[in-house]
Amino acid sequence: MNSKLIIFIVISAIHLIAHLMAFQWLVFITKPLLMPILLWYFSEGLTFGKLTLIQKRMITALTLAWIGDIINLYSHINHWIFTAGIIIFLAMQVMYIIICFYLIRFKQIKQLYLIFCTLVFIAYGSVLLWLLLPHLDEMTIPVLIYASALTLTGIASALTKDQLPRKVFYCLLTGTLLYIITDSLDAINNLRASFPYAAFWIALTYLSAQMMITIAVKKIKTN
């Protein structure tokens, strides 16, 4: 395994233990380190004057994720900071959507598969919104926009099936699904009802998602 990924996994493990042990000071130390390490891994071997569109968007996405992570450390202060975090992660999702749509060749996609993927992710997003809507109040519009982008991210990643090597596709799709789970847990915990060890499970799925998406995108070969 790449040494930079090992460093990421080790610091992620420390970060997760910090959540379990409620060492908030350690969470504040480790969280800002994680996305820069993934960015370090992703940038390895790249020539910055010759970056592809996908590489540029991935670097932007990881940078936004890093900014979002830092903002989320202070999201408990007020809903404006929480909203700022939503906006940053929404922008990150747009980068992931652009990456996927750049790869998709709609003429090659079987219509039944297209319909199936679209319905599955829309159904999931609709159920999640149905659970959250009574608790949103002034957050209704931001959450609706974010949930729509999250649904589109899932659909877009699923539609790259015939454009990527099988292992790369499954890595990308698994990462995307984990990210959807992350945001679902985060939304339920913050907007509906908290649950035991929420911070741990959210961090575990989030870090796993970002690592798998980064690994997958790094392996994509395009001009």
pLDDT 10s digits, 69-104? 999 898 777 778 878 888 999 999 999 999 999 988
Contact 43, 59 (CB under 8 A): yes
Contact 48, 156 (CB under 8 A): no
Question: What is the per-residue pLDDT for 169?
Answer: 94
Dihedral sign for Cα 9, 161, 222, 147, please: negative
User: In the chain, which ranges are continuous DSSP H helix?
Assistant: 3-20, 24-43, 53-72, 79-103, 111-132, 140-158, 166-187, 198-218
pLDDT band at residue 42, thresholds of 50, 70 and 90? Answer: very high
Contact 147, 128 (CB under 8 A): yes
Percent of the chain with pLDDT over 90: 58
Q: Is the pLDDT of residue 124 over 70?
A: yes
Integer angstrom CA distances of residue 223 from 53, 102, 132: 8, 11, 42
pLDDT band at residue 222, thresholds of 50, 70 and 90? Answer: low
In sequence order, the 6+-apart residues with CB closer than 8 A to the CB of 217 are 42, 54, 58, 99, 172
Least confident of 28-32, 148-152, 204-208: 148-152
Q: Which of residues 156 and 136 earns the better pLDDT score?
A: 156
Question: What is the per-residue pLDDT for 82?
Answer: 79
Model pTM greater than 0.75? yes
